[in-house]
Structure 1
């Protein structure tokens, strides 16, 4: 307990009330009608007050109630122990049972004379809980007695009639003198180190100063921050600068040699440099509150924060929107992210209505003191009815962020995708991979039954494939043929059969030539959608590059077959076999091989978190000796749009990627959009999404997606290049001219009539692209991905004469004499 003395006041109008409240709790015989400040009140009830009355007192904010032993026996176990003290005298201490001891937070010991040994035994019996001592004599205590009790962890209660704010006399003891009596300084100058903290900013430390007994007394009586300057004597904080302090509470540490002042700081701040604190700038909620208060009066016209302050309907809508998104968040990162957004808008409303964090904290403290509780049920309008059948689709709403006003840490969070728990995924896929390595085809068959719910008799379909029997719609077949032709034409143009030859110096000729990777494995996802397009995107460049062995892998359907469309593409691209497996087990079979699955040299293809984790795991295993195209994960699209964009087009492009899977993410970067323009796009998303057969998947992915509001094209591309999207769509005026601003993207779709869907299927470019920000360092799959480049050099005798001495010097510099010798013997031989 931080207080040195607990005054017993006759009433709230006592002149000692405010000074006494700064140094600890105040003891009353009756509770105040209302509690309007942070003062802690104890109520001494020496009569048989009923339980409902005691509960009511505690509910209304009384810190603790002190009751007779007889009443304590009735309310222990009902009232919280930390809010209950029991009245004892010297004769009744022995009547305290273990139940009483464990059911209260301390005692008020009433005694006519001070028996220090008795008090010490009471302290020990109650395990150093709160021990108050009330003397029944009419003479004021001495400072020596206060010290004796403090050393035994007991606190003296002194009636206000025995205390004064004036100088001590035989009839009254000065309040400040009573408070400072137990303080002991370990400094040669007798001063007490004093930590000053902000009562309005979660007790954030403002600075370190020093106090004397004189300055402490001055602070207690005046309620202002007064300290002791080691050079200039008494220091009335802010007397010349105007940065004054109102003292809320003065606390003493456990060793009674240092203090904490909790203050309300006025003016520019505590520090002489004009900052809020001597320990740096504010952070977190305190910094946000300060920023909002500054912007309340100075935010520029048209800024987002200004709009929120002036448009209460917009602010109300944003609070409701962010509360909904917070409720939907389901992992640590998302919950923290959404809570931050919600707190921003909540605090904006508070600041607009002159409600401070301190006001909120006081309200929380009062609520925490309630001992009776309501059932806590939600109001009817917020209770979801238990659905009799499948619940209706929820609103399709993306989270909107004003990029300009977002703090740096939030901007960094905006670049993150829905959480990909790779460590967790690695732990889950490793046993699957180990199982395939150990048991081969048998493991593939068992895993197909377990994970794909497919019964297999064989794991591989080998070419030639029975194409004539495939049940493919003619229109679908014609579409595949056209897509195949376009993709092949574009990827064939990427081939260069010419050998690069460079004579770096006379007689030294270096060259580079390409060779196809011999054996490639192409993973074609199944899961929630049939993807023959992926088979085309991977199979065509492999075919064009001249790979000797092309092995497709795709999850089997429940009847053990592979999608006929995928099989048809396997035929077109000249695949040697199709593996009937998906997920990590397919990656393991391709990487290590089984009895029927040939091992490959490189694995290509997108997939979910399981597939991505498996690909990353096998590429780091030297036993597998396999590489991968890239760590491609869930699909994503970023659309940059200005006021020329058509809402129907933008919404359709966003939804085309959102339907891939629940872990997909779509982002709209809106350049200088009005509220009405943004609303049109959101309405279109809602309208189009509800008509989609995969609406449930879209709802999940849209809920994790973003609208980034920016002011300029340059700001839009700054975000886009940092985000490095898989697909980038430009709904911009003069979109073609803006392509020069693109630095990081998997593939770019230019103008209103270039939907991402065309690149996904048939325009000719490849749709297997880097995701999750990897477009910063990876290209999408292309023909060169299926080739390796080999260098060679041919050096003539004359060339070696010139180059040899250079090589010898460098080899000797590195201490590699055998390298130098390989050149030296040739030079000598000539």
Structure 2
């Protein structure tokens, strides 16, 4: 088999990552702990093999943390393992692998006791001829060791070879497999495309190790759902496996009809979750998310009849959530959180009191019923629950077995020691520190730079998407939505009027959106140019300027797993105030193909004509060029990732497209200027509010004449507050790349800020309002300690779509004028033309434009005669 190797810090193979996850085992090449933990804590991570660095000062602690986070295997360098085998002896063998090269003298037989501590060997072999691989004694010994000593938990040890000097081909994969070896292949050498012969096709490489004893060469394939419930038995071929991996769907080989795209005609499609092969490599297992009525042509979930147990209960409850009669008990359970909570507490108590086997089973079933009702009400599936159980099972360390105290049982706090406990340095979340007076000019310039984006690589990936949408319209948009969002839609748009069901919100959320809407409207309405500018430049010569709305605008609202009604508000309200005739909103779908109701509600309030259910470059292309369903717009506004930004800029530069955009953009950023009067907790909270946006967020603190103790207090607050955040793993990546710059004077701080030109500038200083007049470059300024950036993001009234990456030097944030164009007019009286005519005629003569001179001359001649 193959073991793909993936670098999560490289953008060149990012689009291949979802497909690689389908193969389960995936070697991650980085040793960056924060990146690894972020990957491992993703909701549906694959079986990741993660490396342990030889430079790690505390490898045992890191190993435990990575395994607890969900690493399938921890790859330990042989030098590290052999130096201190006892440090890893207590860890599960099936969760450990070892890496080495065959140039190391340490691969001798005397290391067999050490090698017994692991379940896989990752060997780099600098051979140039495949024959050398089969003849190598050390490799043969590892293969023999793997076959003769099964793991304590069952299964054989794997031997994986990295061959940097030999081109990977399906034939090589097959040869190595026959010798008991797996091949490590870098993701950059793999492809799912049909027209990249210079790369190794992922499907062909995966199928190269499969064997078949059938005359037709097909492989029996067991299709199961996410709970491993068998849906049916089908057959696969190399071609169908390749197509499944390329599309992310269930595709099989029909013995009668050829290539079979499951659900292509019935609508009962399958999203591919995982592909596995059995121990003899002659049978496949496809784990799928089944859509539609079910797998079977008889409209049952499985070919073996209807499901039972938890699967059946989950499907029943999901159906009742959608269609339970008004006033029924089930409908009340879904609508009355207090009633459901009472039932769960009641059934839990009855289960605890049950004695006999029959009573325990009965009460447990009742508790499971109401617990699952709670899950379905919250949009949680039984598969989500089982994924969390799997994650808990992968943990190595265990908490104490005592019960958590109830709220009533919590003991009163002891009087605190006035000296706070030190924060462990190993896990500390801390910014870099620089002192302005010690920086060289080159170091200072480096601090002003943003991360370099490989625009050529991004353009090369975005351009084909835009060209395909332009050529194929709706079909291309739907295909890309399926590929990137794993959602199969029948139409890319939802047209107004939107249904009440699509906009249904709880009253608290609706009130919050309504209040934010009112504030943002009030501020943007005040910006509207309703009175023409009229200037008489000289007697008889009157010049005017008046505003007109841009007719059709497209608003990109990031989304998918996120809920971002604020972006819809910040874009939709100024467009409506400006009077744009058509407002089109584009936002990615949720996993079930719908759009979050908060965004739909805002779309309704701003009068959007339709919502494009798509994200990324395909959404930008659809609005820029227009499709059968998506109206072509004149201007596209809105934030997004680097692919969205690149798509907007490509469209703007395409003269045949005829659109404009609001501004270029980069990662979200904040610069805080703080002095010794600042509140450390407030400063830290503002820095973290941007750090949680993404791993590439830019966060800067300029500390003005700040005592060391005050700066240390901010550092402590950053760590303490960040550690409690749900998105702490993102913060663990962004904060260490951010920095504190200590300066002596406020003038130095303002000068640095104006050169940095931040998206958000927050002034945590005494008399902060007096500094505003000195600010030349910033997207939006937040003045004083009670003006957090979050208010501008949501509801104070200013707009949160702002220039980043230093573009605030020359761009404004989105405002009402973003959606207006200004037209000028002039009117001359006869006396005015007579007075101005000689000047115009002389300047036309100087430029050699006789027709221009003549247009004035014939009129002046008549006036003067």
* TM-score, scaled relative to structure 2: 0.52
Shift of 1:750: 0.6
Shift of 1:529: 2.7
1:377-431 CA distance string (max 9 Å, x none):
5586356426323179953221111112111111111111233222221121111
Q: Tell whether 2:559 aligns with 1:526.
A: yes
1:552-588 CA distance string (max 9 Å, x none):
0101111111111000000111111110111111111
1:537-561 CA distance string (max 9 Å, x none):
0000000110000000101111111
CA distance in 1, matches of 2:537, 2:774: 35
Q: Tell whether 2:862 aligns with 1:829.
A: yes
Give the direction of change, closer, same or farther, for the CA distance of 1:379–1:492 in structure 2 (3 Å limit): closer
Q: Tell whether 2:594 aligns with 1:561.
A: yes
Corresponding position of 2:825: 792
1:298-330 CA distance string (max 9 Å, x none):
xxxxxxxxxxxxxxxxxxxxxxxxxxx997899
Match of 1:389 among 68, 79, 84: 68
Structure-to-structure mapping, 1:536-551, within 5 angstroms: 536-551=569-584
Corresponding position of 2:811: 778
SS of residue paired to 2:58: helix
Corresponding position of 2:480: 447
CA distance in 2, matches of 1:382, 1:403: 36
CA distance in 2, matches of 1:328, 1:381: 12
Shift of 1:602: 0.6
Give the direction of change, closer, same or farther, for the CA distance of 1:714–1:327 in structure 2 (3 Å limit): farther
Shift of 1:702: 1.2
Q: For the Cα contact (< 8 Å) 2:755–2:777, is it kept in 1?
A: yes
Q: For the Cα contact (< 8 Å) 1:394–1:699, is it kept in 2?
A: no
Corresponding position of 1:64: none
CA distance in 1, matches of 2:582, 2:619: 17
Which structure is larger by alpha-carbon Rg, 1 or 2?
1
Q: For the Cα contact (< 8 Å) 2:778–2:809, is it kept in 1?
A: yes
Match of 1:421 among 454, 459, 470: 454
Corresponding position of 1:751: 784
Corresponding position of 2:740: 707
Q: Tell whether 2:624 aligns with 1:576.
A: no
Match of 1:683 among 706, 716, 721: 716
Q: For the Cα contact (< 8 Å) 1:724–1:776, is it kept in 2?
A: yes
CA distance in 1, matches of 2:696, 2:506: 31
Q: Which stretch of the first structure deviates more once superposed, 747-756 or 696-705? A: 696-705
Shift of 1:618: 0.9
Corresponding position of 1:725: 758
Q: Tell whether 2:300 aligns with 1:622.
A: no
Give the direction of change, closer, same or farther, for the CA distance of 1:377–1:510 in structure 2 (3 Å limit): closer
1:422-459 CA distance string (max 9 Å, x none):
22211211111111111110011010011111121110
SS of residue paired to 2:713: helix
Match of 2:491 among 442, 458, 471: 458
Shift of 1:513: 0.4
Corresponding position of 2:471: 438
SS of residue paired to 2:536: strand
CA distance in 2, matches of 1:779, 1:467: 36
Q: For the Cα contact (< 8 Å) 2:530–2:547, is it kept in 1?
A: yes
1:231-286 CA distance string (max 9 Å, x none):
xxxxxxxxxxxxxxxxxxxxxxxxxxxxxxxxxxxxxxxxxxxxxxxxxxxxxxxx
Corresponding position of 2:749: 716
Match of 2:633 among 600, 608, 615: 600
Corresponding position of 1:225: none
Shift of 1:460: 0.6
CA distance in 1, matches of 2:686, 2:31: 26
Q: For the Cα contact (< 8 Å) 1:396–1:702, is it kept in 2?
A: yes
Q: Tell whether 2:419 aligns with 1:740.
A: no
SS of residue paired to 1:404: helix
Corresponding position of 1:409: 442
Q: For the Cα contact (< 8 Å) 1:643–1:673, is it kept in 2?
A: yes
Q: For the Cα contact (< 8 Å) 2:477–2:614, is it kept in 1?
A: yes
1:45-82 CA distance string (max 9 Å, x none):
xxxxxxxxxxxxxxxxxxxxxxxxxxxxxxxxxxxxxx
Corresponding position of 1:658: 691
CA distance in 2, matches of 1:637, 1:586: 28
Shift of 1:505: 1.0
Give the direction of change, closer, same or farther, for the CA distance of 1:379–1:403 in structure 2 (3 Å limit): closer
CA distance in 2, matches of 1:328, 1:805: 75
Shift of 1:799: 1.0
Q: Tell whether 2:611 aligns with 1:611.
A: no
Shift of 1:507: 1.1
Give the direction of change, closer, same or farther, for the CA distance of 1:528–1:728 in structure 2 (3 Å limit): farther
Give the direction of change, closer, same or farther, for the CA distance of 1:718–1:329 in structure 2 (3 Å limit): farther
CA distance in 2, matches of 1:420, 1:469: 38
Structure-to-structure mapping, 1:760-771, within 5 angstroms: 760-771=793-804
Match of 2:676 among 638, 643, 655: 643
Structure-to-structure mapping, 1:162-177, within 5 angstroms: none
Q: Tell whether 2:548 aligns with 1:515.
A: yes
Shift of 1:474: 1.3
- Structure 2 residue runs of 5 or longer lacking an equivalent are 1-29, 36-52, 71-394, 396-425
Q: Tell whether 2:514 aligns with 1:481.
A: yes
CA distance in 2, matches of 1:377, 1:771: 38
CA distance in 2, matches of 1:572, 1:706: 41
Q: For the Cα contact (< 8 Å) 1:528–1:661, is it kept in 2?
A: no
Q: Which stretch of the first structure deviates more once superposed, 467-476 or 743-752? A: 467-476
CA distance in 2, matches of 1:764, 1:522: 19
SS of residue paired to 1:550: strand
* TM-score, scaled relative to structure 1: 0.54
Shift of 1:828: 2.4
Q: For the Cα contact (< 8 Å) 2:704–2:742, is it kept in 1?
A: yes
Q: Tell whether 2:376 aligns with 1:698.
A: no
Q: For the Cα contact (< 8 Å) 2:542–2:827, is it kept in 1?
A: yes
Give the direction of change, closer, same or farther, for the CA distance of 1:696–1:527 in structure 2 (3 Å limit): farther
SS of residue paired to 2:531: coil
Aligned-pair RMSD on alpha carbons? Answer: 2.1
- Structure 1 residue runs of 5 or longer lacking an equivalent are 1-324, 331-375
Structure-to-structure mapping, 1:184-333, within 5 angstroms: none
SS of residue paired to 1:509: strand
Give the direction of change, closer, same or farther, for the CA distance of 1:809–1:441 in structure 2 (3 Å limit): same
Structure-to-structure mapping, 1:1-400, within 5 angstroms: 378=55, 381=58, 384-385=62-63, 387-390=66-69, 394-400=427-433
1:190-216 CA distance string (max 9 Å, x none):
xxxxxxxxxxxxxxxxxxxxxxxxxxx
Q: For the Cα contact (< 8 Å) 2:586–2:615, is it kept in 1?
A: yes
1:770-813 CA distance string (max 9 Å, x none):
10001111111111111000000011111111111111111111
SS of residue paired to 1:788: strand
Give the direction of change, closer, same or farther, for the CA distance of 1:640–1:513 in structure 2 (3 Å limit): same
CA distance in 1, matches of 2:749, 2:446: 16
CA distance in 1, matches of 2:775, 2:482: 46
SS of residue paired to 1:818: helix
1:803-830 CA distance string (max 9 Å, x none):
1111111111111111111111222233
Shift of 1:467: 3.0
CA distance in 1, matches of 2:483, 2:831: 68
Shift of 1:669: 0.7
CA distance in 2, matches of 1:795, 1:614: 45
Give the direction of change, closer, same or farther, for the CA distance of 1:527–1:699 in structure 2 (3 Å limit): farther
Shift of 1:469: 4.9
CA distance in 2, matches of 1:633, 1:517: 25
